[in-house]
Homo-oligomer: A and B are copies of this chain.
C-alpha cells in the first residue's frame, strides 16, 4: 500500500481557530481528516506532520526516504526563506508536491518566489483546503506512473 506524507509548515497550527473571516472555520484537523478520508477512498496511507520549526521539517524529510512514495508539503512562511528544506527535498529524491492555501503569486511580491519550487514536481496554490486534495490527486498520478 502506497504512503503519502503531508507536511504543514509554520503557523498552520493556528488555522481556523483564528481569523475565521480570512481563512474560514476550517482548521488543520479538518484538512488532515479530509486528506485521510481521501486516502481511504484511494487506498493510500496518509501521514501528517506540522511544525513551526524549520529544523524539524528538515529532520522529517530526511527520515521520509524509505517510508513514503510522495511528499505533499505546504512550507508556508518557509517557502520563501528556506534553503535547508529545499536541500532536504533534493537530497532524498522522493517526488514532492508544493501546495498553498492562498494564491501566493497574488500576494506581496516576496511571496511570489519559492525556494522549494525548483526541486518540486509541481505547485498548486490558491484553492484553500482543495489545494491539498488536488495535491493528493497529483501525488496519486505520480504513484500510478511508476
Residue A92 is within 8 A (CB to CB) of chain B in the complex:
yes
Q: Chain B residues near A18 (CB, 8 Å)? A: 65, 91-93
Partner of A11, one of B11, B14, B77, B88: B88
Known: A53-B54, A55-B54, A105-B118. A14 touches B92 (CB 8 A): yes
What copy number does this chain have within its complex?
12
Residue A141 is within 8 A (CB to CB) of chain B in the complex:
yes
A127 to chain B, nearest CB (A): 5
A77 and B86 contacting across the interface, CB-CB below 8 Å: yes
Q: Chain B residues near A93 (CB, 8 Å)? A: 18-19
B103 and A122 contacting across the interface, CB-CB below 8 Å: yes
Quick one: which of A1-50 are within 8 Å of B by CB? 9-11, 13-14, 18-19
